Structure 1
Amino acid sequence: MQVPPVFIDMSLEDQAQELRGRKFLKRSPQRGIEDDLHKIIGVCEACFKEGQESEVEMVLNDIVSIMVLIPLERSENIILAFCEKLTKAQGSKLGSVCLRALWLLFQSLDDRSPMRYPVYYHLIQIAKQTDSVHLVYQDIDHLKQQFANCPPSSDQLQKLYRLLHEVLVKSNQSEQAALVMIELLGTYTDKNASHAREDAIRCIVSALADPKTFLLDPLLSLKPVLFLEGELIHDLLNIFVSENLSAYLKFYKEHKEFVTTQGLNHEQNMQKMRLLSFMQLAESNPEISFDIIERELQMKPDEVESFIIEVLKTKLVRARMDQAARKVYVSSTMHRTFGRAQWQQLRDLLHSWRGNLSSVQEGMKSITAAQLELLNQS
C-alpha cells in the first residue's frame, strides 16, 4: 500500500494549535507539544463522527507529521495512544482511512526505531477488522525486511505471528497462514519448545485442513512438533505424511471424537488422503489401472475419472488418462516426502542434465567448426 508522505511548512507548535482549532476538536490551554498531542489524540474520535472522510484523513496525517518529528524518548506513549485510538475506531466506515494513516506512520518512522513493531502490530489488527491484510502484508520475507534493522524480540514475533495467522485464515489465505505458523514454531528453541504445545497443534491442524498443503514432512522436524510425539495429533500428522487412506480410516474409526474436536472435517480429510495416496502410487507406478485406484482409494467405479481430473488440476501429478484402457499413465509426480533418497534422485538428475548440456555444447561446436570450414573453402 502506497501512502504519500505528508509535509507541512509549519512549526510543531503551530501545527498543534491548528489541530486544536478544528471545529470537531475541543480547545485546550497552550501546553507543551507532547501534552497537546495527547489532548488531541484523546478527543480525535470526534472527527470520526462529524468529519468527512477527506477531512478525517487530513487530521490523522497532520498528527502523524508531528509525531514523527518528536524525539523517540518523548514520543513512545503518544504513538501507542494514537495506535490504540485508531484500532478502537474501527466501528466506523472510515477503517481504510485509519489503515492509511497508521501505514503512513509506520513508513515514516526510522527503520531502526523500536516503535515500528507496535505500529505494525496495530496495523494488522486494523487490517483484520477491515479485511485488508493484503494491503500491509506480502509474505514472510518481506516482513523480515521491514524489521531488518530493528528485529523484534522472540516474544514479540510470536505474538505478531499468532495474530497474522489468525488474520490470514480469516481472509482465506490458507497457504500464507501455514507459512506464518511454521515461522512461528521456528522461533522456539530447545529450551522453550515444550511450551509451544498449543502453537504446534494449531500449526498441524492448519496444515492438515489446508487443501493446498501436501508436503507435510517438514513439520515433523520442528522442535515444538517433536515434543508432541506419542500424542494423537502427532500420530495423525504421520498418517498424512507417509501412510495411506486405509491407515487414516482406521485412525478415524478409533478416534472419531478427537478428529472432530480438532475442527477437522472428515470428508475433506478423506479427499486429501486420497490425493496423497494416489501421489504415493504414482511415485513407483508409471502405469496405474482404474481397478487399483478403486481398491486402494476405496472408490466406486463411476468416481474414478472425476477424481483423476481433480488430481490433474492440482498439478501434483502429471499424467494422461486413457478411459478406454481404464489406465492412467504417469509422467511425473510431486513427492509426499523429500528426504535423502529424493535429494540423491535430484542430484543424479542434475548431473544427467549437465552431461546432456555438455554433449549439446560439443555438438554445436562441431557444427560451427564445419560451417566455418565450408565458408573458408568457398
Structure 2
Amino acid sequence: MQGPAVFMDVSLEDQALELRKYFKSLGAEIAEEKSPKGIEDDLHKIVGVCDVCFKEPNEAEIEAILNSIVSIMVSIPLERGENLIVAFSQRLSKAPGPKLGMVVLQALWRLYNNLEANSPLRYHVYYHVIELAARVGYVREVFTSVEQLRKEFSGCPPTNEQMQKLYRLLHQVLKDQNSELASKVMIELLGTYTDENASYAREDAIKCISTALADPTTFLLDPLLSLKPVRFLEGELIHDLLTIFVSEKLSSYQTFYQNHKEFVHSQGLDHEQNVKKMRILSFMQMAEVNPELGYDEIISELQIEEKDVEAFIIEVLKTRLVRARMDQNERVVRVSSTMHRTFGRAQWQQLRDVLLAWRGNVQSAHEAMKSVAAAQIEYATQNQKA
C-alpha cells in the first residue's frame, strides 16, 4: 500500500476551521470557531468527532476530509501530537463496512508513512492499521513477513511488551488466513521471552503448538521443543502431543487420541487432519532407515488400504519432503532422499561425515589437477629443449 499525505495550500488554522464547519454540518458536537488555545486544541476537538464523517455517503469526500486531518497531524511537532495521533488511529480503526474501511485504511497508511522513521508513534499507528486491515481483508498487503516487520521498525524499535502485543494480534488475524505465516509469527512471539519470564508465556506457547500442528504445510516441528516457553510445558498433554508429532509414529498418535479425544478437539485440532499429517511424518521416519519400502509395510505401519497406497505416495511427494519413485510391479517405493523429522546429534554427525567426505574429494581433485598441470609443464619444457 502506498499513499503520501495530501498537503493543502492553505494554513493549518484555516484547514482546522473548515473541518470544524464540516463536522458541525454533520451534527457533531463541535464549535465552528477556532480555538484561542491554538491549532493543537483545534485538532484535539476535530479528532474527538472525526468518526462522524462515516455518515458521509460520498467516499471521495471522506477521503479528502481524512487526508486534511492527516496533513495537519504530520505538520505539528511530535511531542505535541502524540495523544492526538493515537486517538485518531483508534477511532479510524473502528470504521464500519469493507468499502468505508478501505478508504479509512488508506488514510491511516498515509499517516503511518508520513511519520518520521525514528518516531515511536509509528508502532501505535501500525497496530491499528493491522486491526482495520484484518476487518477489510487486507492484512497480507500490509504485513508480508516477520523480516519485513523488523525493517518497518528499524528506526525506532518498539518495546518487548509492544512487540508481544503486536505479534499476538497478527497471529489472531492470520491463523484462519495463512496458518504457516501465523505459526512463524507465534514462534517469533515466543522468542521474545527469556528464562526469567518464559513461565508466563504458557498461553502463547500452547497456541504456538496448536497452530503448528493444525497447519497442513508444517511438518518440521522439532525446533518448537527448544523454545523456552514450550519447555515449561513438559509433562502437560500439549507437550506430549507435540513430542508425538516430532518423533513418534502414527500408532502413538492413535493411542494418544483414544485416551484424550476431548483434549485434542479442545485445541481446535481436527483428528483426520492429524492422522494425515502423522502418516506423512511416519513415512519420512521409515524412509530415513530404509530407502526401499514395500507396499505391505506401508499398509501395516500407516494403517491404509492397498488401493490408497499410490495416492498417499503422491501426496507425500507433493510436500517435497521426500523424493521417491514407485514401482507398481514390484510393489515397492524407492526413496532417493528424505528430510529428517528431527535434527539431533546423529543428524549433525551425518552432516559432518558428508562434509568431510566432500572436503576429501575436493582435495583429491585439487591434487590431481596439480599433477596434470605439472605434467603439462614438464612436457612443454622437454619440447622446448628438443
- Relative to the length of structure 1, the TM-score reads 0.92
Comparing 37-46 with 139-148, greater Cα deviation is found at 37-46
1:260 correspondence with 2:265: yes
Amino acid at match of 2:128: H
Comparing 51-60 with 135-144, greater Cα deviation is found at 51-60
CA spacing shift, 1:56–1:368, aligned 2, 3 Å? farther
- Structure 2 gaps of 5+ residues are none
1:292 correspondence with 2:297: yes
Contact 2:102 2:136 survives alignment (8 Å): yes
Q: Displacement of 1:5 after TM fit?
A: 4.1
Comparing 306-315 with 88-97, greater Cα deviation is found at 88-97
1-side partners of 2:86 and 2:174: how far apart?
24
Query: 1:223 matched to which residue of 2?
Result: 228
Residues 66-95 of structure 1, C-alpha deviation per residue, up to 9 Å, x if partnerless? 111211221111111211111111336211
1:189-338 equivalent positions in 2, closer than 5 A: 189-338=194-343
Amino acid at match of 1:287: E
- Relative to the length of structure 2, the TM-score reads 0.90
Contact 1:48 1:92 survives alignment (8 Å): no
Query: 2:54 matched to which residue of 1?
Result: 48
CA spacing shift, 1:67–1:293, aligned 2, 3 Å? same
CA spacing shift, 1:324–1:39, aligned 2, 3 Å? same
CA spacing shift, 1:33–1:298, aligned 2, 3 Å? same
1:151 correspondence with 2:157: yes
CA spacing shift, 1:287–1:81, aligned 2, 3 Å? same
Q: Displacement of 1:237 after TM fit?
A: 0.6
CA spacing shift, 1:46–1:371, aligned 2, 3 Å? farther
Query: 1:18 matched to which residue of 2?
Result: 18
Q: How many residues align?
A: 377
2-side partners of 1:60 and 1:216: how far apart?
46
CA spacing shift, 1:46–1:373, aligned 2, 3 Å? farther
- Structure 1 gaps of 5+ residues are none
Q: Displacement of 1:14 after TM fit?
A: 2.6
1-side partners of 2:94 and 2:375: how far apart?
78
Q: Displacement of 1:366 after TM fit?
A: 7.9
Q: What is the percentage of aligned positions where both structures have the same residue?
A: 64
Amino acid at match of 2:6: V
30, 47, 58: which one pairs with 2:34?
A: 30
Amino acid at match of 1:226: R
Amino acid at match of 1:164: L
SS in 1 for 2:334: strand
Q: What is the CA RMSD across the aligned residues, in angstroms?
A: 2.4
CA spacing shift, 1:200–1:190, aligned 2, 3 Å? same
Asked which structure has the greater CA Rg, the reply is: 2
1-side partners of 2:351 and 2:306: how far apart?
36
